[in-house]
Amino acid sequence: MCDEAILPRRHFLRQAGGGFGAVALAWMEARAQEKSHFVPRARRVIHVFALGGMSHVDTFDFKPELIRHDGQALSGKGKVDTFFGKPGNLLKSPFEFRQHGGSGLWVSDLLPSIASVADELCVVRSMLTKNNNHTPATFLMDSGFTMSGFPSMGSWVSYGLGSETEDLPAFVVLPDPRGEPAGGSANWSAGFLPAAHQGVAFSTRTAEPVKDLAPPAGDDPAARAAGLGLIDAINREDAARSGGDSALAARLRSYELAARMQIRVPEAADLSNESEETRRLYGLDRKDSEGFGRNCLLARRLLERGVRFVQLFHGGAFGGNPRINWDAHEDVVANHRLQASSLDRPVAGLLLDLRRRGMLDDTLVLFTTEFGRTPMTEGVGTRGRDHHPHAFTSWLAGAGVRRGTAFGSSDEVGYHAVEHPVTTYDLHATVLHLLGLDHTKLTFYHNGIQRRLTDVHGHVVEGLLA
Amino acid sequence: MHALSLLLALLGQDDPEGLALFESKIRPIFVERCHSCHSAKAVKLKGGLRLDHPESILKGGDTGLAIVPGKPAESLLLKAVRQEDPDLKMPPKGEKLPDRVLADIEAWIKRGAPMPRDSTGPAGAEFWAFQAPRGPALADAGGIDRFIRAKLREKGLRPSPPADKATLLRRVTLDLTGLPPSPEELAAFLADESPGAFGKVVDRLLDSPAYGERWARHWLDVARFTETHGFEYNKLRTNAWPYRDWLIGALNADLPYDRFTRMQIAGDALEGAGPEGTIAAAFLTCGTWDEVGYKQQSVVMKARVREEDLEDIIATVSQTFLGLTVNCARCHNHKFAPITQAEYYKFKSVFEGVLPGERTVATATETSALSSADARVAETERELAAITAALRAKLRLPAGPAPVARWTFENGGQDSVGGLHAELLGGAKVEGGRLRLDGKSAHARTVPLARALQEKTLEAWVALPTRKQGGGGVITVEKGAGAEFDSIVFGERQKEKWIAGSEGFRRTRDLAALLETAGPGELVHVAAAYGADGSIQVYRNGVPYGDSYAPAPKPAAFGAAEAYVLFGMRHTGGGAAFLNGEIEEAALYDRALSAAEVAASFAAAGHRVSEEDLEAAATAEERARRTILRKTLEEARRGRAGVPPLKTAYVGTRVQPAVTHRLVRGDVEKPGEAVAAGGLAVLGRADLGLTPDAPEAERRRRFADWVADPKNPLTARVIVNRVWRLHFGRGLVGTPNDLGPTGERPTHPELLDALALRFVEDGMSLKKLHRLIVSSETYRQSSRLDPAAAAVDAEDRLLSRFPPRRLEAEAIRDSMLFVSGRLSPERAGPSAKPFSTYNSGGSTYYSLKDGPEFDRRTVYRFNLISGKDPLLDAFDAPDPGVRTPDRRTTITPQQALVLLNDPFVHRQAEAFAARVTAESKGDLAEGVRRAHRRALGREATAEEAARSESLARTHGLKTVCWALFNAAEFLHVR
The ipTM, to two decimals, is 0.83
- Does a structural domain hold residue B898? no
Tally of CB atoms within 10 A around A321: 7
**Residues B517 and B571 occupy one common structural domain:** yes
Q: DSSP readout, B860-877? A: GB---SSS--HHHHHTTP
**Residues B578 and B505 occupy one common structural domain:** yes
The total number of structural domains in chain B stands at: 5
- Does a structural domain hold residue B845? no
CA distance, residue B702 to nearest chain A CA (Å) = 26
Q: Which residues 6+ apart lie within 8 Å of B507 measured at CB?
A: B486, B500, B536, B551, B552, B556
Residue A389 in this model has a pLDDT that exceeds 90 = yes
Residue A339 in this model has a pLDDT that exceeds 90 = yes
β-pair type (B484-490, B472-479):
antiparallel
Residue B3 in this model has a pLDDT that exceeds 80 = no
**Residues B8 and B79 occupy one common structural domain:** yes
**Residues B563 and B432 occupy one common structural domain:** yes
**Contact at CB, B892 and A7, closer than 8 angstroms:** yes
DSSP secondary structure letter of residue B31? I
**Contact at CB, B575 and A84, closer than 8 angstroms:** yes
**Residues B35 and B54 occupy one common structural domain:** yes
CA distance, residue A8 to nearest chain B CA (Å) = 10
CB proximity A270 to B under 8 Å: no
Q: Three-state DSSP class for B445? A: strand
Whole-structure pTM value: 0.75
**Residues B421 and B450 occupy one common structural domain:** yes
**Contact at CB, A4 and B889, closer than 8 angstroms:** yes
**Contact at CB, A183 and B803, closer than 8 angstroms:** no
Higher pLDDT, B32 or B150: B150
β-pair type (A309-314, A44-50):
parallel
Q: Looking at residue B43, what is its pLDDT?
A: 66
Mean pLDDT for chain A overall: 88
pLDDT by residue (tens digit) across B599-635? Answer: 888 887 644 566 777 788 888 898 899 899 989 988 9
**Residues B580 and B636 occupy one common structural domain:** no
Higher pLDDT, B798 or B45: B798
State how far Cα A448 lies from the chain centre.
Answer: 28
- Does a structural domain hold residue B246? no
**Residues B536 and B637 occupy one common structural domain:** no
Q: Looking at residue A18, what is its pLDDT?
A: 27
B804 neighbourhood in chain A, CB within 8 Å? 245, 247
Band (pLDDT 50/70/90 cuts) for residue B693 is very high
**Contact at CB, A132 and B906, closer than 8 angstroms:** no
**Residues B420 and B476 occupy one common structural domain:** yes
**Contact at CB, A234 and B891, closer than 8 angstroms:** no
CATH number of the structural domain spanning residue B483: 2.60.120.200
A184 neighbourhood in chain B, CB within 8 Å? 234, 845-846, 865-867
pLDDT by residue (tens digit) across B533-585? Answer: 889 999 999 899 999 998 888 889 998 878 999 999 999 877 788 999 999 89
pLDDT by residue (tens digit) across A163-221? Answer: 888 889 899 999 999 888 888 888 998 888 887 888 888 876 667 788 899 999 889 99
Rounded average pLDDT over A310-321? 87
Last residue of a domain, one of B100, B121, B142: B121
Rounded average pLDDT over A213-240? 93
CB proximity B298 to A under 8 Å: yes
Tally of CB atoms within 10 A around B157: 21
- Does a structural domain hold residue B325? yes
CA distance, residue A187 to nearest chain B CA (Å) = 9
Residue B154 in this model has a pLDDT that exceeds 80 = yes
Q: Three-state DSSP class for B387? A: helix
Residue B229 in this model has a pLDDT that exceeds 90 = yes
**Contact at CB, A196 and B896, closer than 8 angstroms:** no
CB proximity B495 to A under 8 Å: no
Q: Which residues 6+ apart lie within 8 Å of A183 measured at CB?
A: A135, A148, B230, B231, B232, B234, B843, B865, B866
β-pair type (A363-369, A44-50):
parallel
Last residue of a domain, one of B88, B121, B154: B121
> Half-sphere exposure of residue A382, counting CA atoms within 13 Å on the CB side?
19
A180 neighbourhood in chain B, CB within 8 Å? 845, 866
CB proximity A184 to B under 8 Å: yes
**Residues B465 and B594 occupy one common structural domain:** yes
Rounded average pLDDT over B3-10? 40
Structural domains of chain A, with CATH: 42-216+282-464 (3.40.720.10)
**Residues B501 and B627 occupy one common structural domain:** no
Q: Looking at residue A24, what is its pLDDT?
A: 34
pLDDT by residue (tens digit) across A60-105? Answer: 999 999 999 999 999 888 888 888 888 899 999 999 999 999 999 9
Q: Which of A81, A184, A195 sits opposite B298 (nearest CB)?
A: A81
The alpha carbons of chain A give a radius of gyration, in whole angstroms, of 23
Interface test with A, best of B127, B730, B890 (most A CBs within 10 A): B890
Residue % of chain B over a pLDDT of 70: 96
Give the number of A-B residue pairs with CB atoms closer than 8 Å: 295
CB proximity B196 to A under 8 Å: no
pLDDT by residue (tens digit) across B836-892? Answer: 888 887 788 888 888 999 999 999 999 998 877 899 988 989 989 889 999 888 888
CB proximity A84 to B under 8 Å: yes
- Does a structural domain hold residue B458? yes
Rounded average pLDDT over B653-660? 93
Residue B170 in this model has a pLDDT that exceeds 90 = yes
Q: Which of B308, B889, B900 sits opposite A258 (nearest CB)?
A: B900
Q: Looking at residue B255, what is its pLDDT?
A: 97
CA distance, residue A394 to nearest chain B CA (Å) = 22
Residue % of chain B over a pLDDT of 90: 57
Last residue of a domain, one of B687, B708, B729: B708
**Residues B547 and B591 occupy one common structural domain:** yes
Q: Looking at residue A10, what is its pLDDT?
A: 36
Q: Which of A82, A147, A254 sits opposite B298 (nearest CB)?
A: A82
B301 neighbourhood in chain A, CB within 8 Å? 81, 83, 131-133
Domain boundaries, position B442:
410-598
Give the integer Cα–Cα distance in Å for B944 and B623. Answer: 94
Omega before B91 within 30 of 0, i.e. cis = yes
Nearest to A385 by CA among A130, A54, A125: A54
- Does a structural domain hold residue B580? yes
Least confident of A223-237, A277-291, B544-558: B544-558
CB proximity A438 to B under 8 Å: no
Q: Three-state DSSP class for B915? A: helix
- Does a structural domain hold residue B769? no
Q: Looking at residue A184, what is its pLDDT?
A: 82
- Does a structural domain hold residue B355? yes
Q: What angle do CA A200, A203, A209 make, to 5 degrees?
A: 80
